[in-house]
Chain A
Amino acid sequence: MRSILPMFRASMRSIVRDRQTLIGATVFPTIFLLAFAAFDIGLTGAGLDTTGGGIDYFDFVLPGILGMATLQFAIFWTSGSYARMGETKVLRRLEATPVPKGAFLVGQVLARLVLVAVQAAVVLGVGVVMGADIAGNLLWMIVLTLLGAATFLSLGFAIGARAANVDAAGMMSGIAVMPIVFLSGAWFPIEGLPGWLETVMNWLPLAPLLEAMRSVMIEGAGIGAIGGEIAQVVAWIPVMFGVAVLAMRPASSRASRRRLRTAEAVA
C-alpha cells in the first residue's frame, strides 16, 4: 500500500495542471446554474408560480446540477483520461512496475475526490449567491457529493478501461450517464416514472443521493433523517470499486493485438 500516496500526489498534480479541463469542470455547472436561474426568474417575472408544494424550482434543481456536475467530472473526464493513459502506453509502463491495480485506483480516486469537493463548494457557493435557500448544513452537501462521487469515479475508470480509445470512452460515458441523470430525479421528480422504473432508479446510487441532498437542502435534515439513503450510496462504493479493478484488464492484451496487426502489415 506504499504506492497509494505517490499515486495520489501524481494524479493530483496531473489534474491541477490540466488547466483547460479543470476550468471546464467549474464553468460547466456554473453555466447550468445561470441557465436555470434565468429560467426561474423569467417564469416568476411572467407571473407564473415556480414553486411546487412550497418548494422553489431552483432549490429543487440545485442538487441535480451538483449531481450532474459531479457525474460529468467523475465519469466523462475520468474515463477519458484513463483511456488516454491506455492509448499513450502509460498504463503499460505502470504494469511493468509492482504497483497493484487497487493501489493505483485508490490513489487516483482520492485525488479526484479532492477536486470533486472543490467543485461542489463552487457550485453551492454560486447557487447561494443566485438565491438558493439552503436550509441544512452545507458541509453535509459536500460529504454526500463525495460519497456519490466515489462510486461514479470507479465507474469512470471501469468505462475508461473497457473503451478502445478516448472517443469511445466519451460515447460510452454518455450512454451510461445521460439516462441515469434524467431518470434519477435530477431535473424532474422521480415519482413521475412508471413503477418498475422508479424501483430500478431507487436501487442505483444517484436517486437516493439526490433524495438525501434535497432533504438536507430543503428540509434542513440532519444525518439521522438520511441514514437509509447514505447507507445505499455507501454500499455502492465497494461494489463499483470491484467492478473497476476487474475491468482493468492487462493493457498488454490490447496492445499485443494492435502489434499483431502491425506485424502483419509489415509482412
Chain B
Amino acid sequence: MTQTVTETPMPPEERRTQAAVVVEGLVKHYPHPDGGTFAAVDGVDLTVRRGEVFGILGPNGAGKTTTLEMIEGLTRRDGGRISVLGMDPADDPLAVKRRIGVQLQSSAYFEFLRLGEILDLFGGFYPKRLAADDLLARVGLTGKRNALVGELSGGQAQRFSIVAALVNDPDVVFLDEPTTGLDPQARRNVWDVISSLANEGRTVILTTHSMEEAEALSDRIAIIDHGRVVAVDTPLALMERHGVGTRVAFAAAGGLDLDVLGGLAAVDDVRATGNGTTRYVLAVSSPDVVVPALYRWAVERGVDLADVTIRRSTLEDVFLNLTGSRLRD
C-alpha cells in the first residue's frame, strides 16, 4: 500500500534552512517477538515548515511516537537523516533539546513536587526560561501552583504537561497524542492551548489518532500507516484528492427513476438502498448545484424528500482510501 507523496519539491539546501524539521528516509527496526526484526518506521520523509501546526495522523502502532522520539533525539534511529532547526539530534542532542519542547504520550512528573516547583526545576535546565507563574496562568492553572500532579484532573494534567514543554520558550513543540483519554470539554481546552502556541509563531508537531483533532488543529497533515507516510497535505486538499467526494442523500418512496436522478446537473452517480422507503445517495461534484435542482425536481414530480443530508468527504474516507483499512477498528 504505497502511495507516492506529491508535494512541490524544494531544493534540499533551501528546505533544510527554511524548514523547522526535515526528515528523510527515517527507519527504525525493533526485534520481533517471533524472532527477526520488523520496521516500526519504514522510510519516513517529512518536511515541517516553520510556524505551522503539523499533524501526524495514524492508527495505534503506525509508528507515530517512534518517529517523533527519533526527531526529539530520545530514540536512536537505524537509518535516514534528521534536521531540527538545521541541527542533527544525533550530532548535538543537547543543542536540539535546548530549543525544542517535548510532551510525551504518558509522562509523569516528580510525585512529591508541586506544579510551580516542577516548572522551576525544568526551567533550571535551560539557559533561557519562562516564568512558572506566567506558564501556569496561560493554561488556567494559577490556582494549582501548589498542587501535586497526582491531584490534577486528566485535562489539567494534560494542560500542565503541555506547559511544562514550554519552560524553555521553545521554537518547536512536540505533542504526542495530547488529548487521548480526555472528555470533550477538556479536549477543547487543550485545543485552545495548542492553537495559542501556533499564534505565537511556534512550530507545533502533534500526533493523534483522532481525525477530528488533526483536522481542527493542523495546517498540514501527514497520514502514517505501517511506518510509512501515505500522504501529506492540508486537510482540505487531502479530502479533495483522496476523499470520496461529496454525497447528497435523502429518503423517499422506493422506485424513483435512477437514470433521471443521475441526469441532474453535477450528479456523478446514484445508488439506492432499502425497500419501501428508500435511501438514495448521490455522489455529486457540486452540492450547491445539485441541492436546488433536486428540490425543483421533487416539487415538479410531487416526490416527498425527507432527511436530506449533505456529507463531504472526511479524513476517515481519505484514510480508508489510502490504506484500505479504517482508522479505528
Across the two chains, which residue of chain B brings its CB closest to A250? B74
Q: Which of A6, A85, A257, A267 has the most CB of B within 10 A?
A: A6
Q: List 6 A-B contacts (CB under 8 A).
A: A2-B125, A3-B124, A92-B74, A98-B98, A98-B125, A259-B65
Given the known inter-chain contacts A95-B74, A96-B74, please indicate yes or no for A88 contacting B108, CB distance below 8 A. yes
B112 touches A18 (CB 8 A): yes
B53-85 residues with Cβ-Cβ distance < 8 A to A are 60-61, 65-66, 69, 72, 74-75
A14 to B108, CA, bound (A): 14
Interface-forming stretch among B113-121, B189-197, B241-249?
A: B113-121
Q: Which of A3, A10, A13, A18 has the most CB of B within 10 A?
A: A10
B97 touches A98 (CB 8 A): yes
A97 to B126, CA, bound (A): 8
Minimum CB–CB distance from B224 to chain A (whole Å) comes to: 13
Residues of chain B within 8 A (CB-CB) of A96 are 72, 74, 97, 102, 104
Residues of chain B within 8 A (CB-CB) of A267 are 61
B295 at the interface (CB under 8 A from A): no
Residues of chain B within 8 A (CB-CB) of A260 are 30-31, 33, 40
Q: Mark A21-48, 1 if CB is under 8 A from B, else 0.
A: 0000000000000000000000000000
B94 at the interface (CB under 8 A from A): yes
In addition to A92-B107, A97-B122, A260-B33, 13 A-B residue pairs with Cβ atoms within 8 Å of each other are: A9-B121, A10-B118, A13-B113, A89-B104, A96-B72, A96-B74, A97-B102, A98-B125, A98-B126, A100-B94, A252-B75, A257-B31, A266-B60
Across the two chains, which residue of chain A brings its CB closest to B75? A252
Across the two chains, which residue of chain B brings its CB closest to A11? B110
A14 touches B61 (CB 8 A): no
Minimum CB–CB distance from A266 to chain B (whole Å) comes to: 5
Across the two chains, which residue of chain A brings its CB closest to B74? A252
A89 to B98, CA, bound (A): 20
Q: Mark B94-112, 1 if CB is under 8 A from A, else 0.
A: 1001100010101111111
A164 at the interface (CB under 8 A from B): no
B61 touches A263 (CB 8 A): yes
B30 touches A99 (CB 8 A): no
A93 touches B109 (CB 8 A): yes
Checking B30, B117, B120 against A256 with a beta-carbon cut-off of 8 angstroms, the contacting residue is B30
Checking A5, A6, A89, A250 against B108 with a beta-carbon cut-off of 8 angstroms, the contacting residue is A89
Checking B94, B98, B104, B110 against A14 with a beta-carbon cut-off of 8 angstroms, the contacting residue is B110
Checking B104, B113, B127 against A93 with a beta-carbon cut-off of 8 angstroms, the contacting residue is B104
Main secondary structure of the interface of A (DSSP, over half): helix
A49 to B243, CA, bound (A): 94
A22 to B118, CA, bound (A): 21
**Nearest 4 pairs between A and B by C-beta?**
A6-B124, A96-B102, A263-B61, A88-B108
A10 to B121, CA, bound (A): 7
A13 touches B108 (CB 8 A): no
A233 to B113, CA, bound (A): 34
Residues of chain B within 8 A (CB-CB) of A262 are 61
Across the two chains, which residue of chain A brings its CB closest to B100? A96
Residues of chain A within 8 A (CB-CB) of B113 are 10, 13-14
B97 touches A97 (CB 8 A): yes
Given the known inter-chain contacts A6-B124, A10-B110, A90-B110, please indicate yes or no for A98 contacting B94, CB distance below 8 A. yes
Residues of chain B within 8 A (CB-CB) of A266 are 60-61
Given the known inter-chain contacts A10-B117, A96-B102, please indicate yes or no for A5 contacting B61, CB distance below 8 A. no
B121 touches A7 (CB 8 A): yes
Across the two chains, which residue of chain B brings its CB closest to A17? B112
Across the two chains, which residue of chain B brings its CB closest to A18? B112
Residues of chain B within 8 A (CB-CB) of A95 are 74
Residues of chain A within 8 A (CB-CB) of B74 are 92, 95-96, 250, 252
A18 to B164, CA, bound (A): 23
B109 touches A90 (CB 8 A): yes
B97 touches A93 (CB 8 A): no
Across the two chains, which residue of chain A brings its CB closest to B329? A266
Across the two chains, which residue of chain A brings its CB closest to B118? A10
Across the two chains, which residue of chain A brings its CB closest to B122? A97
B72 touches A263 (CB 8 A): no
A97 to B123, CA, bound (A): 10
A97 touches B125 (CB 8 A): yes
Given the known inter-chain contacts A90-B108, A92-B74, please indicate yes or no for A6 contacting B125, CB distance below 8 A. yes
Residues of chain B within 8 A (CB-CB) of A85 are 110
Residues of chain A within 8 A (CB-CB) of B31 are 257, 260
Residues of chain B within 8 A (CB-CB) of A90 are 107-110
Given the known inter-chain contacts A7-B121, A256-B30, please indicate yes or no for A263 contacting B110, CB distance below 8 A. no
Across the two chains, which residue of chain A brings its CB closest to B61? A263
A89 to B31, CA, bound (A): 22
Residues of chain A within 8 A (CB-CB) of B97 are 96-98
